[in-house]
């Protein structure tokens, strides 16, 4: 049963969607205090649909940004001579890292740079292509236009306008480069605008929750796939052949320079894993993402005075990252760790949706 | 196309309308004083500067996403309404007269609606035929005997005016249901302030930016609960609706929640919205959904846009709908033809705004006249809007006329006819330069417990096609900023 504001009669009926609240307040008082708060502008309730749209908008923008970076890093890798590890499977691994192996094979196209990058950027049929991500993000933003500031909306709308000028095929490598630049720029512009202009309230927090969850998901998948592709050969890791493979990962998350700064060491696989999983200074590390997720969930709780299953799951996930080290992770198996993480991260996403009645 | 004499608002005189072929600013002897600055500005702006400004304006509208959809045109899911950067000017004195007329007319509309759903005095007095009202598809039986809070029915009315001479304004139609276009009125001004700030230095233009504030006050004034701050929401059919931009724009400016039907539910005849923290009670719904779709339990059962049980909550007086249900009867064009009598009946005054003479085809004599003179008349469906399904006799080919005559004979009660009015023209930027184009004006009239309020001006719509008299955006019309000018530098 949930608290409601009936003027008369009984409280919640079974027709309501159930949330996972752990606390209850007496109906009458909640009603009065809410109305009082409204007068002073302290509290505004957000539509569940709005929260859902904002959350998914955050996720789709993050995914677009990630895909753009992944393509750039893959281009760089694929352009190397094969004696430097200019891997023949560079584009294959890009598809795998974006988790679209099946979707791509359904197109029955050969794996080439053009085919893969078109599939990842422009393909209207690919629901995770950059085009689709921007379209969905923009559609979500449009239907909750009032929850965004003008500047934040314009950043998304401008990117969508650019994108909608493009057909399904790339006009060439230059064209791809400028699309990727545009996408990264648009997502930055959106985050900047949101950061600078949006009220610090649930709208802002739901967007950030979405992008943090998606970011954690992307980083975990990227690491998992690359590790899978790279390690099973049983070669001595850290050789010059692998160097470019590992730096590709770092470039994808824009952490090449950060790596040097943090570890003052040559590129070593376990340090890359450490950086991406546990390092709190790197914004795309799992630990960082969970810092953000927890923070935004806490802010939501401080506004509503209520905590729920999502808070518990986030705290568990956060603790797991805080109470381990890279040696333990390797000892238990990195792949197992990452698949477990991806699963839990998804569960957290579901719990947020359920708790806030999406 | 035959040229018609039309009043040119810039020169303040009627001129044989030549479609802009001749020199516009030749040796103009007289000019409407308020337009002098506009003319100087146009004279001093090289063509490339004007073109650049037009492009900037378009870019601005695209960026903010101010678009509308044209039904039946899948390629134009989101289209821009053409914006013309030459403003349309009304002198303060002209506006004051219009304003008085609008207040009078909207007061009469509200009184009429309250009456036909109440005591039906106007029917008993024989002013308006009973069957025209009670058998009208626009008459909503569910509202008979009901009285919305404050006795206000059409909280937001859009009255379409056209001008035919220096002092001649006609009401073309009343929109008492859900008039749209106010976002363009507001955004057009913003664009003008950005694009040509220099013009505003010399000409003192009455601001329109108070509209959201006035609307919020109007909506709050009719809340069913007297205490505290009412919870007001804007109910939209969703982002696929042609006016969705406007819905989101207004919700944003008003600081109210933009809701879809699925965001609301009714329990024990009280309306709630679903929030992340559970249900919150809703007091006033500014709904931009037609009556038919508002509650599937009462009206169209297939509607996915509405809220089941909403009408019951409304009937219990637990929520206010703006505009009220059933106002469509006042938009009926046969009812329109009685407006002079309606105004007199309720206000005891002579109507300030004129009505266009209207032939009601339901009357055999009128039908005969209309059929004989079809090529000179404009024929409209009584419940039509948006310029859909209307006939402009002088512009129609013979085959269309014949087809329409057949329709008229088959269902005369569905149509009215009016003389083809020579809508006034305003200078307008077109590809070949500046040329006169026909315009109309839709002021937005707000009625609440706090009285009737109107921001000075309204939305000027302009027929962008040479010679066209149809200004509707769904038919390729554009818009202009409308200036009510208080004074100007000599």
> Are A38 and B228 within 8 A, CB to CB?
yes
Q: What is the pLDDT of residue B145?
A: 94
Q: Mean pLDDT across chain B, nearest whole number?
A: 88
Selected for mutation to probe chain B from A47, A57, A158, A358 (highest B CB count within 10 Å) is: A47
Quick check: is A37 in a domain? no
Give residue-wise pLDDT tens across range B27-71.
444 567 778 888 888 888 888 888 888 888 888 888 777 766 555
- Give the chain B residue nearest A46 (alpha carbons): B275
Q: What is the pLDDT of residue B76?
A: 52
Contacts of B276 in chain A (CB under 8 A): 45-48, 51, 202, 304, 356-357
Whole-number percent of chain B with pLDDT over 70: 91
Q: What is the pLDDT of residue A236?
A: 44
Mean pLDDT of B190-199: 88
Quick check: is A5 in a domain? no
> Are B63 and A48 within 8 A, CB to CB?
no
Lowest-confidence range among A215-219, A226-230, B176-180, B410-414?
A226-230
Contacts of B252 in chain A (CB under 8 A): 145-146
Q: Work out the minimum CA distance from B274 to partner chain A, whole angstroms.
A: 6
Q: Which residues contact A166 (CB under 8 A, 6 or more apart)?
A: A122, A131, A179
Comparing C-alpha atoms, which of A127, A129, A138, A139 is closest to residue A169? A129
Q: What is the pLDDT of residue B73?
A: 53
* Per-residue pLDDT band at B225 (split at 50, 70, 90): confident
Which DSSP symbol is given to B265?
E
Q: What is the pLDDT of residue B360?
A: 93
Phi/psi region, residue B269 (left: phi>0; alpha: psi -120 to 50; beta: rest), is left
Instruction: Name the more confident of B93 and A6.
Output: B93
Structure tokens at B338: 């009685």
Residue ranges and CATH numbers for the domains of chain B are 5-208+331-356+421-488 (no CATH), 225-318 (3.40.50.11290)
* Per-residue pLDDT band at B1 (split at 50, 70, 90): very low
Residue A57 and residue A140 in contact, taking contact as beta carbons nearer than 8 Å: yes
> Are B274 and A357 within 8 A, CB to CB?
yes
Quick check: is A228 in a domain? yes
> Are A48 and B279 within 8 A, CB to CB?
no
> Are B270 and A7 within 8 A, CB to CB?
yes
Task: Considering only the beta carbons, identify the residue of A7, A49, A154 that sits closest to B263.
Answer: A49
Helix, strand, coil percent content, chain A, rounded in steps of 5: 70, 0, 30
Please enumerate residues of A whose Cβ is less than 8 A from a Cβ of B: 2-10, 13, 15-17, 19, 31, 34-36, 38-39, 45-51, 139, 142-146, 150, 153-154, 157-158, 161, 202, 304, 306, 356-357
How many whole angstroms separate alpha carbon B70 and alpha carbon B465?
A: 17
Instruction: Name the more confident of B87 and B60.
Output: B87
Q: Work out the minimum CA distance from A216 to partner chain B, whole angstroms.
A: 24
- Give the chain B residue nearest A51 (alpha carbons): B276
Instruction: Name the more confident of B238 and B36.
Output: B238
Structure tokens at B316: 């219990």
Quick check: is A240 in a domain? yes
CA dist A244 → A4, A72, A112, A345 (Å) = 58, 14, 19, 29
Task: Considering only the beta carbons, identify the residue of B229, B260, B276 that sits closest to A51.
Answer: B276
Q: What is the pLDDT of residue B4?
A: 61
Query: How big is chain B, counted in residues?
Result: 490
Q: Which residues contact A260 (CB under 8 A, 6 or more apart)?
A: none
Query: How big is chain A, counted in residues?
Result: 358
Residue B319 and residue B149 in contact, taking contact as beta carbons nearer than 8 Å: no
| Cβ pairs bridging A and B (under 8 Å) | 105
**Angle A48-78/A240-252 helices, nearest 10 degrees?**
150
| Ranges of chain A with pLDDT below 70 | 1-43, 82-88, 228-242
Selected for mutation to probe chain B from A25, A54, A143, A305 (highest B CB count within 10 Å) is: A143
Contacts of A158 in chain B (CB under 8 A): 63
**Complex ipTM, two decimals?**
0.70
Selected for mutation to probe chain A from B278, B288, B308 (highest A CB count within 10 Å) is: B278
Handedness of CA B221, B222, B228, B232 (dihedral sign): negative
> Are B277 and A145 within 8 A, CB to CB?
no
Lowest-confidence range among A280-284, B120-124, B158-162?
A280-284
Lowest-confidence range among A291-300, B21-30, B135-144, B422-431?
B21-30
Q: What is the pTM of this model?
A: 0.82
**At residue B424, does pLDDT exceed 60?**
yes
Quick check: is A16 in a domain? no
Structure tokens at B45: 């702006």
Quick check: is A40 in a domain? no
Its domain, for residue A99, covers: 48-355
Output b/e per residue, B436-446; b: 16+ Cβ within 10 A. bbbbbbbbbbb
Give residue-wise pLDDT tens across range B314-345.
999 999 999 999 999 999 999 999 999 999 99
Q: Work out the minimum CA distance from B407 to partner chain A, whole angstroms.
A: 41
Q: Which residues contact B61 (CB under 8 A, 6 or more apart)?
A: B67, B80, B81, B83, B187, B191
Strand order from edge to edge, sheet including B264-267: B264-267, B270-275, B278-281
Q: What is the pLDDT of residue A118?
A: 93
- Give the chain A residue nearest B272 (alpha carbons): A5
Quick check: is A111 in a domain? yes
Q: What is the pLDDT of residue A35?
A: 44
- Give the chain B residue nearest A31 (alpha carbons): B280
Contacts of A150 in chain B (CB under 8 A): 64
Q: Work out the minimum CA distance from B139 to partner chain A, whole angstroms.
A: 32
Selected for mutation to probe chain B from A13, A49, A356 (highest B CB count within 10 Å) is: A49
Instruction: Name the more confident of B304 and B387.
Output: B304
Q: Work out the minimum CA distance from B343 to partner chain A, whole angstroms.
A: 39
> Are A4 and B279 within 8 A, CB to CB?
yes
Structural domains counted in chain A: 1
> Are B281 and A7 within 8 A, CB to CB?
yes
Residue B477 and residue B461 in contact, taking contact as beta carbons nearer than 8 Å: yes
Q: Please count the other Cβ atoms lying within 10 Å of the Cβ belonging to residue A24.
A: 12
Instruction: Name the more confident of B298 and A79.
Output: B298
Which DSSP symbol is given to B461?
E
Q: What is the pLDDT of residue B31?
A: 63
Mean pLDDT of B234-262: 90
Lowest-confidence range among A271-285, B157-171, B202-216, B460-474?
B460-474
Quick check: is A23 in a domain? no
* CA atoms in the 13 A half-sphere facing the CB of B339: 32
Whole-number percent of chain B with pLDDT over 90: 62
* Per-residue pLDDT band at B488 (split at 50, 70, 90): low
Strand B451-454 with B391-392, pairing: unpaired
Torsion of CA B108, B112, B115, B117, to 10 degrees: -140
Output b/e per residue, B178-192; b: 16+ Cβ within 10 A. bbbbbbbbbbbbebb
Give residue-wise pLDDT tens across range B447-461.
999 899 999 999 999
> Are A139 and B239 within 8 A, CB to CB?
yes
Burial of A347: CB neighbours in 10 Å, binned 0-12, 13-18, 19+: middle
Q: What is the pLDDT of residue B212?
A: 94
Selected for mutation to probe chain A from B79, B275, B281, B284 (highest A CB count within 10 Å) is: B275
Q: Work out the minimum CA distance from B392 to partner chain A, whole angstroms.
A: 37
Q: Work out the minimum CA distance from B312 to partner chain A, whole angstroms.
A: 15
> Are A143 and B64 within 8 A, CB to CB?
no
> Are B274 and A306 within 8 A, CB to CB?
no
How many whole angstroms separate alpha carbon B451 and alpha carbon B356?
A: 27
């Amino acid at each position: 049963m949930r608290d409601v504001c009936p003027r008369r009669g009984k409280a919640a009926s079974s027709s309501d969607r159930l949330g996972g609240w752990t606390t209850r307040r007496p109906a009458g008082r909640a009603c009065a205090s809410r109305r009082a708060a409204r007068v002073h502008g302290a509290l505004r309730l957000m539509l569940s649909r709005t929260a859902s749209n904002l959350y998914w908008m955050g996720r789709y923008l993050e995914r677009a940004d990630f895909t753009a970076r992944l393509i750039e890093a893959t281009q760089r890798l694929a352009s190397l001579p094969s004696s430097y590890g200019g891997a023949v499977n560079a584009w294959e691994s890009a598809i795998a890292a974006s988790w679209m192996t099946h979707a791509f094979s359904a197109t029955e196209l050969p794996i080439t740079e053009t085919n893969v990058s078109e599939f990842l950027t422009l393909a209207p049929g690919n629901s995770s292509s950059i085009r689709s991500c921007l379209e969905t993000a923009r559609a979500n933003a449009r239907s909750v236009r009032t929850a965004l500031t003008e500047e934040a909306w314009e950043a998304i709308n401008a990117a969508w306008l650019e994108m909608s000028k493009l057909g399904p095929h790339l006009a060439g490598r230059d064209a791809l480069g400028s699309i990727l630049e545009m996408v990264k720029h648009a997502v930055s512009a959106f985050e900047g605008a949101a950061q600078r202009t949006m009220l610090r309230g649930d709208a802002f927090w739901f967007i950030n929750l979405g992008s943090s969850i998606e970011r954690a998901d992307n980083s975990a998948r990227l690491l998992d796939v690359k590790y899978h592709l790279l390690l099973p050969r049983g070669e001595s890791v850290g050789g010059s052949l692998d160097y470019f493979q590992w730096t590709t990962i770092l470039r994808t998350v824009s952490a090449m320079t950060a790596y040097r700064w943090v570890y003052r060491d040559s590129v070593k696989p376990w340090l890359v894993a450490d950086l991406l999983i546990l390092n709190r200074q790197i914004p795309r590390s799992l630990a960082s993402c969970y810092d953000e997720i927890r923070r935004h969930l806490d802010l939501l709780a401080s506004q509503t005075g209520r905590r729920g299953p999502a808070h518990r799951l986030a705290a568990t996930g956060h603790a797991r990252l805080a109470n381990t080290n890279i040696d333990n992770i390797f000892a238990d198996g990195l792949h197992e760790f990452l698949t477990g993480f991806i699963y839990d991260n998804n569960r957290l996403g579901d719990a947020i949706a359920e708790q806030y009645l999406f | 196309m035959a040229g018609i004499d039309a009043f040119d608002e810039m020169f303040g005189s009627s001129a044989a309308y030549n479609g802009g072929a001749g020199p516009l600013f030749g040796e103009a002897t007289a000019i409407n004083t308020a337009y002098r600055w506009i003319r100087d500005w146009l004279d001093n702006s090289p063509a490339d500067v004007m073109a650049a400004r037009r492009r900037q304006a378009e870019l601005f509208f695209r960026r903010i996403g101010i678009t509308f959809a044209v039904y039946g045109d899948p390629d134009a899911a989101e289209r821009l309404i053409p914006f013309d950067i030459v403003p349309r000017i009304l002198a303060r004195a002209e506006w004051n007269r219009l304003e008085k007329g609008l207040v009078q007319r909207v007061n009469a509309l509200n009184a009429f609606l309250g009456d036909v759903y109440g005591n039906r005095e106007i029917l008993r007095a024989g002013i308006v035929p009973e069957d025209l009202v009670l058998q009208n598809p626009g008459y909503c039986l569910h509202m008979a005997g009901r009285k919305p809070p404050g006795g206000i029915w059409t909280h937001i009315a859009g009255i379409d005016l056209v001008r035919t001479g220096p002092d001649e304004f006609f009401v073309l139609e009343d929109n008492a249901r859900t008039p749209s276009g106010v976002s363009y009125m507001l955004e057009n001004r913003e664009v003008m302030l950005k694009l040509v700030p220099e013009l505003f230095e010399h000409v003192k233009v009455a601001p329109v930016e108070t509209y959201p504030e006035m609307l919020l006050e109007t909506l709050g004034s009719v809340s069913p609960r007297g205490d505290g701050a009412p919870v007001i929401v804007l109910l939209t059919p969703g982002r696929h609706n042609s006016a969705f931009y406007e819905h989101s724009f207004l919700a944003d400016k008003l600081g109210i929640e933009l809701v879809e039907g699925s965001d609301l539910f009714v329990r024990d005849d009280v309306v709630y919205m679903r929030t992340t923290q559970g249900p919150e009670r809703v007091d006033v719904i500014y709904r931009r959904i037609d009556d038919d779709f508002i509650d599937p339990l009462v009206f169209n059962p297939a509607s996915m846009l509405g809220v089941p049980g909403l009408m019951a909550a409304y009937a219990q007086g637990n929520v206010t709908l703006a505009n009220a249900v059933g106002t469509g009867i006042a938009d009926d064009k046969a009812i329109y033809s009685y407006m002079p009598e309606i105004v007199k009946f309720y206000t005891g005054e002579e109507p300030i705004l004129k009505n266009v003479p209207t032939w009601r085809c339901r009357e055999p004599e009128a039908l005969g006249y209309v059929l004989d003179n079809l090529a000179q008349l404009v024929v409209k469906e009584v419940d039509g809007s948006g310029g859909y399904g209307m006939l402009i006799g002088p512009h129609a080919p013979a085959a269309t006329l014949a087809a329409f005559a057949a329709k008229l004979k088959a269902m005369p009660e569905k149509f009215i006819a009016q003389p083809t009015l020579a809508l006034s023209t305003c200078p307008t930027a077109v590809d070949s330069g500046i040329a006169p184009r026909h315009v109309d004006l839709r002021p937005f009239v707000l009625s609440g417990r706090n009285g009737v309020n109107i921001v000075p001006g309204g939305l000027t719509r302009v027929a962008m096609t040479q010679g066209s008299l149809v200004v509707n955006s769904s038919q390729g019309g554009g818009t202009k900023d409308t200036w009510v000018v208080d004074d100007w530098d000599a």
